[in-house]
Structure formats: C-alpha cells, structure tokens
A = this chain, B = another copy of it.
Amino acid sequence: MSQTTRADARKNRDLLLAAAREAVAEHGTDASLRDIARRASVGIGTLYRHFPTREALLEALLNANFDVLHARADSLLASPDPGDALMTWLGELAAGAATYQGLPESIMNALADEESGLHASCAQMRSAGGRLLERAQQAGSIRSDVTLSEVIALTLGLAWAAERSEASDLAARLLSTAMYGLAARDH
C-alpha cells in the first residue's frame, strides 16, 4: 500500500487479489487458499504474508463493495421517505451479500468477532445502516423497539436463506415481507 512497498510485493498482492476474486467467485467465501496461491503463481507463504487470515483477504476483496454501500446509505439519508430509504438500503445489502456464495455467513461472523480482519469494514457498514434506521424510527415508520443488530441479522439471514434456493427473487420477497413486520402500526 505505502509508496515504499517493493514493486514485486505490490505485484504479488495484485496477483493474489485477482486470483482470489476468481476462486471466490467459483467456490465461495471458503475457497481454498492454496488454490488461490496457485492461481496467482505464488508460494502459499506469500499469500499468508500479504493476508494473514482469510478474513483479511476478504476484506481487501470487498473493500470497494463496502464503500459503495456506505456511500449509498449517506445519499439515501437525504431521500424523502425514511422508511423506503431503509428498505432500499437493506435490499442493496442483501443483494451485495449475494455477490459471493458464503458471504452472508462471512459478514455475520465478522460482525460477531471483533478480532476478525473483516470486523471493521462490517461494523462500519452496519453503522451506516444505523443512521437510516434511526431516521426511519424517528419518522415513525419503523417500530421503535427494533434494534440495529436485529435488522442487519434479519437481512443477512434472509440473504443466507436465498443462497440455498432456486427462486432468484427469494431474498427480495422475504425482505419485503419482513419489512411489513418492521413497520410501525398505529392501532
């Protein structure tokens, strides 16, 4: 990353990331690390030197995706309907988690484990959603007794379920159903 990085190291890092992207696309989040090193034509030790854990590798892989989700949350914060804004964002979270097989699980695990190399990214993502949730609750469109962690867990749980299903729109359908459950009612 820094400008003092040796050119060969920098190149290996890039090769590893490209190989990882391929392998994870094919085999999901728990793709073989050995296989990734092989694809990158690099020793397995080199992979470990650049990415000490699988989660650190995933973090590098998903960086851009998290940034997009974060930016989306910020822009949705300015949209007129707070309830719709949250719903839209959760839908994008679910869609993003469907990028790679096993990703909902990786994110969920990372949120629960502060030591995970993926924790910071995920926690930041969650916080971004938190602002949308607060706004929706203050606007009275979402139940006030519901927690940020619950909303995220719900969304990732549905994304997880959708992974193991032929119905490609399952996540969206389940999410929209669940949103009815999250809606505040005045009776």
Measured CB to CB, the residues of A under 8 A from B are 108-109, 111-112, 143, 146, 149-150, 153-154, 156-158, 160-162, 164-167, 170, 173-174, 177-183
- Chain B residues, Cβ within 8 Å of A165: 112, 149, 153
Residues A182 and B177 in contact in the complex (CB < 8 Å), given A112-B165, A149-B165: yes
How many copies of the shown chain assemble into the complex? Answer: 2
Closest partner residue, chain B, to A146 (CB atom): B177
One of B157, B162, B167 near A161 (C-beta < 8 A): B157
**Judging by beta carbons under 8 Å apart, are B177 and A179 in contact?**
no
In the complex, what distance in Å separates the CA atom of A177 from the CA atom of B158?
Answer: 14
Q: 8 new A-B pairs (CB below 8 Å) besides A153-B170, A160-B160?
A: A108-B164, A146-B177, A153-B164, A154-B177, A157-B160, A178-B181, A180-B183, A181-B182
- Chain B residues, Cβ within 8 Å of A174: 150, 153-154, 157
In the complex, what's the smallest C-beta–C-beta distance from A148 to chain B, in angstroms? 12
In the complex, what distance in Å separates the CA atom of A108 from the CA atom of B150?
Answer: 21
In the complex, what's the smallest C-beta–C-beta distance from A181 to chain B, in angstroms? 3
10 contacts between A and B (CB under 8 A): A146-B177, A149-B165, A150-B174, A150-B177, A154-B158, A154-B161, A157-B161, A157-B174, A177-B178, A177-B182
In the complex, what distance in Å separates the CA atom of A10 from the CA atom of B170?
Answer: 44
**Judging by beta carbons under 8 Å apart, are A181 and B177 in contact?**
yes
One of B108, B109, B164, B178 near A178 (C-beta < 8 A): B178
- Most B C-beta atoms less than 10 A away, residue of A157, A158, A180: A157
- Chain B residues, Cβ within 8 Å of A164: 108-109, 111-112, 153
Residues A150 and B178 in contact in the complex (CB < 8 Å), given A160-B160, A161-B157: no
In the complex, what's the smallest C-beta–C-beta distance from A119 to chain B, in angstroms? 13
